[in-house]
Amino acid sequence: MSRILVMIPSGEVYDHDNVRWYNYRDVQRNLDHYHNIGDAFVFDSSLKLLNYSKLGVLEIRKYDPRQVDRLRDEYDYVVLRGSNYIHSQMNWEQAEAVLKHLGLPVLAFGIGAQAPVDGKIALSDSTRNVLRIIADSTQSVGVRGAYTAQVLADIGINNTRIIGCPTAFRNNDPDLTITLPDLGSVKKVGLTVRREVSPAYAQDIRQYLTFHRSLIKSCATRFDTILIAQGELEEKKLVFGNDRQKEEAIAALKANDWVRQWYLDDEIEKLYRSRLFYSDVVADYDAVVSRCDLVLGYRLHGNLMALANGVPAIYFTYDSRTREFADTFRIPSFDVFSEKLFRLSDFWRQDTFDAFNRAYAGTYDAMRDFLEENGIENAMRDRSLPIAEKARGVA
């Protein structure tokens, strides 16, 4: 069985293929540290698709030739977990030197590009060099969508395969489908919140935040709503902090001009104090979304985790990343910068989700083919097996 190194991991691994944040029990230690737990979703999901006997970490912050020589002897390939690496600010540290010396295949596992609002994406020489090393090391490069594939083609990398994101396939279910219940039966809704947003990628911060605020209020009025956060410090303090820290979090939110003007009114503050969810354990998000009848909102991986668990999800797109995810998987989505009025009933149609069901099946096959063409031992089930055989564990 394979021995794999992980490049840029996001959390500690326990019970073979489960991920949680480092020292997750030490809440106070992590309370002032920003980390997007969505990155851990991808790490966790990636491990669940692979068969391996040994797992290690490839350090790229420093280049130690002797250490690299040892790793080459002890491991078979490197996994670069899917994330938003292809943008103008990406810092690869010593990855170029490490990967050149290491010489092992580097599996790019659903990597993505981020487009700025204005102008064409500008990549550093370091980013171009690292991406070319990765592309030359394997049969194909796994990217999350067509936009990323085009960005790589523009720098001469043409061996890409669109595989979406491992989070969609974390339950290894090739036959997953979303079947909508009657809208009147929807009671519990998860809303994935993203208060922090960059003007470099979202074209109108005022519209983004005011729409976000209205969506939260309307959902909370109509449904039993849980607000699912993924790492912003103030939201995390409102979940895990003591009384003093919670008040400090509210004060910090009110001190932010954008938040004070366009987002945090009395009703949102009340909901933030009573309805927020956050955890440093990926499995906790599985449990939360599985209890929902619907998940909607702004978080790429939070919404994708709901779909992976058979729960309908709707994306609110605001930048190239969210649009690329929605396009790859044909997930029902609403552009927050459009002039249209969002009505849930407009999206609550089985034919809309059937488009996702078809895209999921095709992308599942693409993911499995991607792993197999790169010689990667994997746990992905073949759709051709009868359901009864899958239940008995035949692979």
User: How many residues in the chain?
Assistant: 395
Split at pLDDT 50, 70, 90, the class of 302 is very high
Whether 230 and 136 map to the same domain: the answer is no
Q: Which percentage of the chain shows pLDDT scores above 90?
A: 90
Split at pLDDT 50, 70, 90, the class of 395 is very low
Whether 157 and 221 map to the same domain: the answer is no
Q: What are phi and psi of 286, to 5 degrees?
A: -55, -45
Whether 16 and 147 map to the same domain: the answer is yes
In a domain, 395, yes or no: no
Q: How far apart are the C-alpha atoms of 314 and 191, rounded to whole Å?
A: 10
The runs of H, that is alpha helices, within 94-186 are 95-102, 125-137, 146-154
Structure tokens at 215: 């969506």
Mean pLDDT computed over every residue of the chain: 94
In a domain, 130, yes or no: yes
In a domain, 49, yes or no: yes
C-alpha dihedral (204, 205, 210, 213), degrees to nearest 10: 130
Q: How far apart are the C-alpha atoms of 290 and 72, rounded to whole Å?
A: 41
Contact yes or no for 44/17 (Cβ under 8 A): yes
Range of the domain at 75: 2-173+360-390
Pairing between strand 188-192 and 18-20? unpaired
Q: What is the CATH number of the domain that holds 137?
A: 3.40.50
User: What mean pLDDT comes out for the span 87-106?
Assistant: 97
pLDDT at 247 over 90: yes
Fill in the DSSP letter of residue 289.
H
Q: How many CB atoms lie within 10 A of CB 33?
A: 11
Q: Which percentage of the chain shows pLDDT scores above 70?
A: 96
Whether 231 and 379 map to the same domain: the answer is no
- The DSSP line for 317-357 is E-SHHHHHHHHHHT--EEETTSSSPP-HHHH--HHHHHHHH
* pLDDT value, residue 393: 34
Q: Is 339 exposed, middle or buried (0-12, 13-18, 19+ CB in 10 A)?
A: exposed
* pLDDT value, residue 384: 60
Whether 58 and 207 map to the same domain: the answer is no
In a domain, 83, yes or no: yes
Whether 114 and 256 map to the same domain: the answer is no
**Which residue has better confidence, 251 or 319?**
251
* pLDDT value, residue 117: 80
* pLDDT value, residue 199: 86
Structure tokens at 286: 């599985």
At residue 324's C-alpha, the angle toward residues 321 and 326, to 5°, is: 110
Structure tokens at 214: 């209205």
Q: How far apart are the C-alpha atoms of 149 and 44, rounded to whole Å?
A: 24
In a domain, 316, yes or no: yes
The runs of H, that is alpha helices, within the chain are 27-30, 37-49, 65-74, 95-102, 125-137, 146-154, 205-222, 233-240, 243-255, 257-262, 266-275, 282-290, 300-308, 320-329, 344-347, 350-373, 387-391
Whether 168 and 191 map to the same domain: the answer is no
User: What mean pLDDT comes out for the span 317-338?
Assistant: 94
Whether 108 and 215 map to the same domain: the answer is no
Task: For residue 342, give every residue at least 6 positions away whose Cβ sits within 8 Å of its Cβ, in sequence order, or none.
Answer: 215, 334
Task: Specify the pTM.
Answer: 0.94
User: What mean pLDDT comes out for the span 177-200?
Assistant: 95
Whether 166 and 190 map to the same domain: the answer is no
In a domain, 331, yes or no: yes
User: What mean pLDDT comes out for the span 181-198?
Assistant: 96
pLDDT at 333 over 60: yes
Q: How far apart are the C-alpha atoms of 153 and 138, rounded to whole Å?
A: 16
Split at pLDDT 50, 70, 90, the class of 198 is confident
Whether 294 and 230 map to the same domain: the answer is yes
In a domain, 149, yes or no: yes
Report the amino acid identity of residue 198: S
Split at pLDDT 50, 70, 90, the class of 108 is very high
Task: Identify the weakest region by mean pLDDT among 74-78, 280-284, 335-339.
Answer: 335-339
C-alpha distance from residue 84 to each of 4, 10, 108, 245, 355 (Å) = 21, 13, 12, 31, 25
At residue 86's C-alpha, the angle toward residues 164 and 64, to 5°, is: 110
* pLDDT value, residue 200: 80
Contact yes or no for 287/83 (Cβ under 8 A): no
In a domain, 355, yes or no: no
Whether 318 and 278 map to the same domain: the answer is yes
Task: Please tell me the total count of domains within the chain.
Answer: 2
For residue range 152-168, what is the model confidence (pLDDT) as tens digits? 999 999 999 999 999 99
Pairing between strand 18-20 and 12-14? antiparallel
Whether 19 and 143 map to the same domain: the answer is yes
